[in-house]
Structure 1
Amino acid sequence: MRGAVRWVVSLIFTVQMYLVMLILGIVFAPWAIVSPEGARKACNLYCHWVFWTARWMVGIRTELRGPVPQGEVLIAAKHQSFLDILILFEALPRPKFIMKRELMWTPVIGVYAKRLGCVPVDRGKRGAAIARMIEDVAHGRADPGQLVIYPQGTRVAPGKHVRYKSGAAVLYTQFAHSCVPTATNVGLFWPRKGIMKHPGTAVVEILETIPPGVETAAFMTRLETEIETASDALMAEAGFAPDRAA
């Protein structure tokens, strides 16, 4: 019975969350069209709304750990669900996400992503997609910010392993960025699929910066090791033991 009630409350939370996204998207549209600052204000307000309603409706609290990057850096982030996107967006001064191109055509999200300078990439076209990504990032550097990439390329459920792709290393080398790895445990409470939400503290942790100049293979090894180790620690802190055989 308690599980059924929690599912219903989770459904109500999810419905209102997307309804508010639509309302804010429409209300802020004139300002967002005129200025990217309008898009940022709308998205920050939306983040605050989701965090507030998640806390009292489904018992999810959010926490950011570590120093927030301020300058033009590459952020390579563990991605488990929509919630880790919101936590990073709210924390960073000028975030720009590398995202699947098809999302750019979705109502509200696509329009605001374009205004924020997000970079679309094509799935399944590795060489061409990376070349286009480099070109789009180069064009967007006139508006410096924190470029967020998900090195696994998709949301990954807790305890599952998906290999790290080369896109983060390409950008790290091409633009001589510092790279800031981030870890998370949010998928324990806000799964990547389904309606059900679970109470607990969802954490995104900003890790030690990797300076420019690390050789590609060493960079990829360090990036994956640090993100996965820290994410495992956050999940263990919440009582979950990742099964690396899964």
Structure 2
Amino acid sequence: MILLRYAASLIFIGQMYLAIPVIGALYIPWALWDRRGAIAGMQAYCKYVRFTAWLFCGLKSEVRGPVPTGEVLVASKHQSFFDTIILTSVLPRPKFIMKTELRRAPVVGWYAMRIGCVPVDRGRRGQAVTRLLSDVAAGQSLPGQLVIYPQGTRVAAGAKKPYKIGTALLYRQSGQPCVPVATNVGLFWPRKAVLRKPGVAVIEFLPTIEPGLETADFMSEIESTIESASDRLSQEAARR
């Protein structure tokens, strides 16, 4: 059985990457003309990945809580590529703070920049946050839901890593509400692993944190909220 699951995972991964240039090419005329075309192309691809994850690997995906639609900061737990896929598939105008290396990724890098993602050099997150805030103040930032990973990187399910101050800086200086997001996807789609496990991967949009909290209070709020909810989702998956 485990060999069959590995084989199915390899087939899934292969077709997932083959689909990138195909879907990218289908949407490129619209994407060149309008940002909405780029968003539609990214969302079509992400919905395709969610469907084929279930088809090949028995990995279903579920979204809980009200999906934000306005100008908000989305602070999400990041356990694997799959939580990015799910978020992109449901947010109406997603844009991510991403590693600058992704700009060079074929097809994906161009689409990411077209939808308004913000590239960040490792070790220079503070500079990126400052630039982003100046763009917002000048009205040059594209509208939508800005997704940031407060821990700065993927963190395995159950592992602990400090939350970085950049999220609080964006929250305080942008004056936007913040929507925390919990997940358990790392249980089924671990980072740096081939096997995709069957089950139900969940992302959950949690209650909005309105503007106005002090930095320390905000940091404490998002960490306790996201971590406790992610632990709850992992425990739920274990019971299943």
TM-score clears 0.5 = yes
| Paired position in structure 2 for 1:131 | 130
| Paired position in structure 2 for 1:164 | 163
| Paired position in structure 1 for 2:39 | 40
| Paired position in structure 2 for 1:55 | 54
| Paired position in structure 2 for 1:200 | 199
Q: 1:225 to 1:20 in 2, by over 3 A?
A: same
Q: Does residue 14 of structure 1 match 2:13?
A: yes
Q: 1:62 to 1:5 in 2, by over 3 A?
A: same
Q: 1:141 to 1:95 in 2, by over 3 A?
A: farther
1:77-88 to structure 2, matched below 5 A, reads 77-88=76-87
Is contact 1:119-1:137 (8 Å) kept? no
Q: 1:13 to 1:139 in 2, by over 3 A?
A: farther
Instruction: Describe the superposition over 1:100-125 as per-residue Cα deviations: whole angstroms up to 9, x where unpaired.
Output: 11111111111001110111111112
How much does 1:133 deviate?
3.5
Larger mean Cα displacement after TM superposition, 134-143 or 41-50: 134-143
- Structure 2 CA distance, aligned partners of 1:114 and 1:127? 20
TM-score, normalization: structure 1? 0.93
Larger mean Cα displacement after TM superposition, 202-211 or 121-130: 121-130
Q: 1:19 to 1:49 in 2, by over 3 A?
A: same
Is contact 2:132-2:141 (8 Å) kept? no
Counterpart code for 2:144: G
Counterpart code for 1:128: Q
Aligned partner of residue 238 in structure 2, secondary structure:
coil
Q: Which runs of 5+ in 1 are unaligned?
A: 241-246
Is contact 1:84-1:186 (8 Å) kept? yes
- Structure 1 CA distance, aligned partners of 2:121 and 2:138? 17
Q: Which runs of 5+ in 2 are unaligned?
A: none
How much does 1:137 deviate?
4.8
Q: Tell me how many residue pairs correspond in the alignment.
A: 239
Aligned partner of residue 175 in structure 2, secondary structure:
coil
How much does 1:136 deviate?
4.6
Instruction: Describe the superposition over 1:17-66 as per-residue Cα deviations: whole angstroms up to 9, x where unpaired.
Output: 01001211123222212211111111111122111111121000010000
TM-score, normalization: structure 2? 0.95
Q: 1:173 to 1:163 in 2, by over 3 A?
A: same
